[in-house]
A and B are shown apart, each in its own frame.
Chain A
Amino acid sequence: MRDQINRLARKIPTWPLYIGSLIPPAWYFYAGVTGRMGVEPIKAMEHAIGILGLQVLIASLCVTPLRTYARINLFKFRRALGLIAFFYIVLHLLVWLLLDVRIPSQIIADLYKRPYITIGMAGLLLLIPLAITSNRYSIRKLGANWRRLHWLVYPAVALGGIHFVILRKGWQLEPLLYLTVIGVLLLIRVPIARVIPSRARST
């Protein structure tokens, strides 16, 4: 089973992932305009694309533990997952800016007055340098620093999870489940994180 997955993963190219990633946002937009997203399509689109972004970002964090604990190697897809998550989260921001709030003074006030928006925006800002350096050239150029820089994905995903929990009224189950999964994915990295610096020093 594991070998089959690994063999299959080796055969599948990554480009269909990038092409396929365009389908959900295109569908949400079409569904929103044609009344298939309920009677409040703007919030529905904003939430759908935001949750999808968080899901793909979480999926990108599953790649390493899958190899460590299940020996399933999906490493070739990790960059695509990270970039697609970033793409969705940028779209989530654009829906908020251009369709939802639109009023510049209110956008600016929201950014510093609303903790959940400040936190969400901070998470997105952390992802920007990661998206920019998600290419072979940057990996070569930055060397060991690339790894240090991309450590930022951990605070970024945690901020995304907190953003989701506190934007809901009361303590709701769904966002708390996401935050729990994120917490587990971060915690299982703690012993690994201790090993990495020593390995980095030895090379």
Chain B
Amino acid sequence: MSKTHSLPYSTVTPEQTYLNRRALLGGITGAGLLAATGVRAQEVPEFQIKGFDTTETPNSFKEITTYNNFYEFGTGKEDPARYAGALTTDPWSVEIDGLVSRPGSYGLGDIMAKMDIDERVYRFRCVEAWSMVIPWNGFELRQLLELAGVEPSAKYVRFETLYRPEEMPGQKRAILDWPYVEGLRLDEAMHPLTIMATGLYGKTLPNQNGAPLRLVVPWKYGFKSIKSVVKITLMETQPVNTWKAINHREYGFFSNVNPEVDHPRWSQASERRIGGGVFAPRIATVKFNGYEDQVASLYKGMNLNKEY
């Protein structure tokens, strides 16, 4: 995998990106058996992160909007697309409190008027070992935090999803401890890759993708990218995120994409890129989901096998 930044965009042909350099990894044991069935081994994706964008071909709008984890609308992958239509996203406001100089309720319209909306083509890797490439529209979380004024003592950011069981039928069942909570360390939250998405493919963010406002942290597993955010709290201590509270062995606070640290119940070494169809092989998972050059410095001196 190459991450050089010297090539101009014009030299990159996305189709070739997929067809070139098919690295055969995989083990030796049993290879003969599988080879006999004509099955190819693991493919390493070739891509570059240019500026903020990956050079890979984005998934289709349909793929991005029909295969979602949003347990507020049910645990099936198609439940969010089916049931999220009932969610009212206007009016919407975000409560920003804790260690900020201007705490209060910020209306979405007011926020949007002050933010620079940008397109970001990001890699997205779910903890369940599937992945997509998504062209988000949004603004850097840093801008929003600066709007509220971060106090020097703040070290962490806590996020909360809307709790409205009458519109979010999944919340009527105790699958998770509602409302959904996520957290970032302040330096992660202030990183320019960390955005609040308000759209995709230039369209308003569909409800099933976390409308009207969701976090996107592309180097972390997807569950960190909390949807339909209504509350942001700046804190001195590490917040307890929902999945870590359920099972801290399986889901850590950081949850950086890392092929070397397995989920106890499945390997994180490879992933299935959505949209490949029945015969596409898995692709190799990349450390920090390919954003190692941009974010590895945040974790200097940390043992990422222990602090997962």
A residues near B, CB below 8 A?
Answer: 29, 32-33, 35, 38-43, 45, 97-110, 113-116, 166-174
Contact A98 B77 (CB under 8 A): no
Contact B27 A108 (CB under 8 A): yes
B267 at the interface (CB under 8 A from A): yes
> Which chain A residues border B294 with CB–CB below 8 Å?
none
> Which chain A residues border B274 with CB–CB below 8 Å?
39-40
Beyond A104-B27, A104-B29, A106-B270, whether A170 also contacts B246 by CB under 8 A is: yes
> Which chain B residues border A45 with CB–CB below 8 Å?
278
**A-B complex: 5 closest residue pairs judged by Cβ atoms:** A105-B27, A104-B30, A39-B63, A103-B26, A104-B27
> Which chain A residues border B57 with CB–CB below 8 Å?
none
Contact B25 A114 (CB under 8 A): no
- Report the separation of the CA atoms of residues A168 and B266 in the bound assembly, to the nearest whole angstrom: 11
Contact B279 A99 (CB under 8 A): yes
B53 at the interface (CB under 8 A from A): no
Q: Which of B267-294 contact A (CB under 8 A)?
A: 267, 269-270, 272, 274-275, 277-279, 281-282
Chain B binding surface, main DSSP class: loop
Contact A98 B66 (CB under 8 A): no
Closest Cβ of chain B: how far from A158's Cβ, in Å?
Answer: 19
Beyond A38-B67, A39-B66, whether A103 also contacts B42 by CB under 8 A is: yes
* Among A32, A100, A107, A172, contact of B175 (Cβ-Cβ < 8 Å): A172
B231 at the interface (CB under 8 A from A): no
Query: 12 A-B residue contacts at CB 8 Å?
Result: A38-B77, A41-B277, A99-B278, A102-B26, A103-B25, A103-B26, A103-B41, A107-B30, A113-B262, A167-B265, A170-B176, A170-B246
Closest Cβ of chain A: how far from B10's Cβ, in Å?
Answer: 30
Contact B27 A168 (CB under 8 A): no
> Which chain B residues border A38 with CB–CB below 8 Å?
66-67, 77-78
Closest Cβ of chain A: how far from B297's Cβ, in Å?
Answer: 31
Closest Cβ of chain A: how far from B235's Cβ, in Å?
Answer: 25
**Band of interface residues on B:** 35 or more
Contact A108 B30 (CB under 8 A): yes
Contact B130 A103 (CB under 8 A): no
> Which chain A residues border B31 with CB–CB below 8 Å?
104
> Which chain A residues border B281 with CB–CB below 8 Å?
102
Residue among B33, B173, B277 facing the most chain A CB atoms (10 A cut-off): B277
Contact B267 A106 (CB under 8 A): yes
Contact B277 A33 (CB under 8 A): yes
Quick one: closest B residue to A94, CB to CB? Answer: B37
- Report the separation of the CA atoms of residues A29 and B62 in the bound assembly, to the nearest whole angstrom: 21
Closest Cβ of chain A: how far from B95's Cβ, in Å?
Answer: 27
B304 at the interface (CB under 8 A from A): no
Chain A binding surface, main DSSP class: helix
- Report the separation of the CA atoms of residues A33 and B277 in the bound assembly, to the nearest whole angstrom: 7
- Report the separation of the CA atoms of residues A174 and B76 in the bound assembly, to the nearest whole angstrom: 10
Contact A105 B29 (CB under 8 A): yes
> Which chain B residues border A98 with CB–CB below 8 Å?
34, 37, 39
Beyond A42-B278, A171-B175, A172-B175, whether A105 also contacts B26 by CB under 8 A is: yes
> Which chain A residues border B151 with CB–CB below 8 Å?
none
Contact A104 B75 (CB under 8 A): no
> Which chain B residues border A35 with CB–CB below 8 Å?
277
Quick one: closest A residue to B65, CB to CB? Answer: A39
* Among B27, B130, B265, B282, contact of A114 (Cβ-Cβ < 8 Å): B265
* Among B33, B130, B173, B265, contact of A40 (Cβ-Cβ < 8 Å): B130
> Which chain B residues border A110 with CB–CB below 8 Å?
266-267
Contact B39 A40 (CB under 8 A): no
> Which chain A residues border B279 with CB–CB below 8 Å?
99
- Report the separation of the CA atoms of residues A39 and B173 in the bound assembly, to the nearest whole angstrom: 27
Quick one: closest A residue to B29, CB to CB? Answer: A104
> Which chain A residues border B39 with CB–CB below 8 Å?
98, 102
Residue among B63, B267, B282 facing the most chain A CB atoms (10 A cut-off): B267
B167 at the interface (CB under 8 A from A): no
B40 at the interface (CB under 8 A from A): yes
- Report the separation of the CA atoms of residues A167 and B75 in the bound assembly, to the nearest whole angstrom: 13
- Report the separation of the CA atoms of residues A174 and B270 in the bound assembly, to the nearest whole angstrom: 27
B119 at the interface (CB under 8 A from A): no
B128 at the interface (CB under 8 A from A): yes
> Which chain A residues border B173 with CB–CB below 8 Å?
173
Closest Cβ of chain A: how far from B190's Cβ, in Å?
Answer: 30
B302 at the interface (CB under 8 A from A): no
B113 at the interface (CB under 8 A from A): no
Extra A-B contacts (17), CB below 8 Å, given A39-B275, A106-B267, A108-B29 = A40-B77, A40-B274, A42-B272, A97-B34, A99-B278, A102-B281, A103-B42, A104-B28, A106-B26, A108-B30, A110-B267, A168-B75, A170-B75, A170-B246, A171-B175, A173-B175, A174-B75
